[in-house]
């Protein structure tokens, strides 16, 4: 099935970290916001990393991102995909992230999941010249044993990079 990305990027002039997924899942497209599947652990992982509760409202999530200088978007603008399976992505067309990079103060780019990392390297790295920091997928499809602990450990890098930049400004 051909899918076109319909969600707007979340960022402002103070964003320092850009987190890129591959393309919104079926559920995310339904609700109109990122990481919308109830079993996706993206938001709960960030809650643990930042030791802060995030309610389920889209506005609260946007405020959380803004408060922590995090921008959020996806690598892919359009592709063929079966349901929400990243492994089935074909004929990908990348999003243009230059408006984010021009307006915001992005210093670090994180990619969520192997496919987002691969697609970033293939389509966007040559433009940005910013090495991405790959993170494990928070998708319900990623159900490895001990993944909760691994997610928190790996996603803690986001907070560490933010603190690193705060100490050098």
Could you tell me what percent of the chain has a pLDDT over 70? Answer: 94
Mean pLDDT (whole number) for 82-95: 91
- Does position 92 have pLDDT exceeding 80, yes or no? yes
**Dihedral of the alpha carbons of 105, 5, 116, 137, in degrees to the nearest 10:** 100
Mean pLDDT (whole number) for 112-123: 96
Give the pLDDT score at 141.
74
Could you tell me what percent of the chain has a pLDDT over 90? Answer: 82
Beta strand pairing status for 90-94 and 108-112?
unpaired
CATH code of domain 2-168:
3.40.470.10
Mean pLDDT (whole number) for 125-148: 86
**Element of type H or E holding 17:** strand 17-21
Give the pLDDT score at 64.
97
Mean pLDDT (whole number) for 41-55: 95
Handedness of CA 124, 43, 151, 106 (dihedral sign): positive
Give the pLDDT score at 113.
93
Contacts of 151 (CB under 8 A, 6+ apart): 41, 45, 136, 138
- Does position 82 have pLDDT exceeding 80, yes or no? yes
Distance CA 105, CA 15 (A): 6
- Does position 87 have pLDDT exceeding 90, yes or no? no
CB of 133 within 8 A of CB of 36? no
pLDDT bracket for residue 165 (50, 70, 90): low
Contacts of 86 (CB under 8 A, 6+ apart): 22, 23, 113, 114, 115, 116, 137, 139
Tens of pLDDT along 20-47? Answer: 999 999 999 999 999 999 999 999 999 9
Rg from Cα positions in the chain:
15
């Amino acid at each position: 099935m051909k899918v076109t990305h319909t969600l707007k990027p979340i960022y402002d002039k103070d964003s320092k970290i850009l987190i890129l997924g591959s393309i919104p899942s079926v559920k995310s497209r339904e609700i109109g916001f990122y990481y919308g599947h109830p079993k996706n652990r993206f938001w709960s992982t960030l809650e643990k990393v930042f030791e802060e509760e995030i309610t389920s409202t889209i506005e609260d999530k946007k405020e959380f991102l803004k408060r922590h200088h995090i921008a959020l978007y996806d690598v892919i603008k359009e592709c063929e995909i079966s349901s929400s399976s990243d492994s089935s992505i074909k004929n990908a067309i990348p999003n243009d992230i230059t408006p984010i990079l021009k307006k915001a103060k992005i210093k670090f780019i994180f990619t969520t999941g192997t496919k987002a990392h691969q697609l970033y390297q293939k389509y966007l790295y040559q433009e940005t010249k910013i090495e991405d920091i790959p993170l494990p997928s928070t998708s319900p499809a990623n159900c490895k044993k001990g993944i909760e602990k691994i997610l928190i450990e790996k996603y803690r890098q986001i907070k560490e990079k933010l603190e690193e930049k705060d100490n050098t400004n």
